[in-house]
Structure 1
Amino acid sequence: MGVGEIAGLIAAIAFAILAGFLIYPLIRLGKLFDQLAETVKQTGDHAIPALDESVTTVKQVNKSLEDVNKISSAASTTANNVGALTDLYGSFLGKPVIKVASTVYALKSTAQSFMSKRVMQQPNRGE
């Protein structure tokens, strides 16, 4: 055996020892990657139903908002109709009622004035 063969043998033994020391961390790293892959798979399995539920929730909220919009629209229309009706009654009944009330007040004031003048013009009969 020559020096080159002994050096080669030492190098082969050193490489075998180095490979033996590296096998354990590589096996652990492989298990870590397996666990990581399983965790990603489980996360995906749980995320998809959560996303489906959130889509359903958003659809229900949108439907509720559509109902609220319909109610708001109806309330706005009702408020506009009540305002228009109030204006109509105000113009239809308000002016004539005010005219009738002022006429009645004028007649009442005239009658009171006339009656008070008549009472003052009558002579006292008891004297």
Structure 2
Amino acid sequence: MSVSVGEIAGFIAAVAFAVLVWRLGGVINKAGAVLDEASAAVRKVSDETLPLITEMTNTVSATNGQIERLDAITANLATMSNNLNALTSLTVATVGRPMLKVASVGYGIKQAMSGKTSGGVTRQR
């Protein structure tokens, strides 16, 4: 039985191809394990993210409710400020001006009773 050089080269090529396929199988196996781990990580993140998003939605809704209450309080304070301003103006108009007139008349009477004028000279009638 004689073996030719071509047959030996073919055998070596077949063995090299078998080793290559075996090594590629190991790489593919490791890649599959990495993909399984990545899938598990994504699943875990998804499972933890959904409750977090729900809780965040509830928090934002509660915050919006508080902001609406704050808007109502601010509007009430603005109304109270306007009412107080109007009341102050009314008080000044009702009480302040007549009191000023009474004080002016009183000062004039006092000046007339003391007999002095604005120049410091007494009047003679």
| TM-score of the two chains, using structure 1 as the length reference | 0.79
Q: Given the alignment of the two structures, is residue 40 of structure 1 paired with residue 42 of structure 2, yes or no? A: yes
The aligned length equals: 115
Q: Can you list the C-alpha shifts for 1:12-41, whole angstroms capped at 9, x where unaligned?
A: 332212111222111111000000011011
Counterpart Cα distance in 2 of 1:104 and 1:17: 123
Q: How does 1:60-79 map to 2 (within 5 A)?
A: 60-79=62-81
Which structure has more relative contact order (CA 8 Å, sep 6+)? It is 2
Counterpart Cα distance in 2 of 1:39 and 1:107: 97
Counterpart Cα distance in 2 of 1:13 and 1:99: 123
Counterpart Cα distance in 1 of 2:77 and 2:26: 75
Shifted more, 30-39 versus 7-16: the winner is: 7-16
CA RMSD, 1 decimal: 2.2
Identity rate of aligned residues, in percent? 34
Counterpart Cα distance in 2 of 1:108 and 1:47: 86
| TM-score of the two chains, using structure 2 as the length reference | 0.80
Task: Please list every run of 5 or more consecutive structure 1 residues that lacks an aligned counterpart in the other structure.
Answer: 118-127
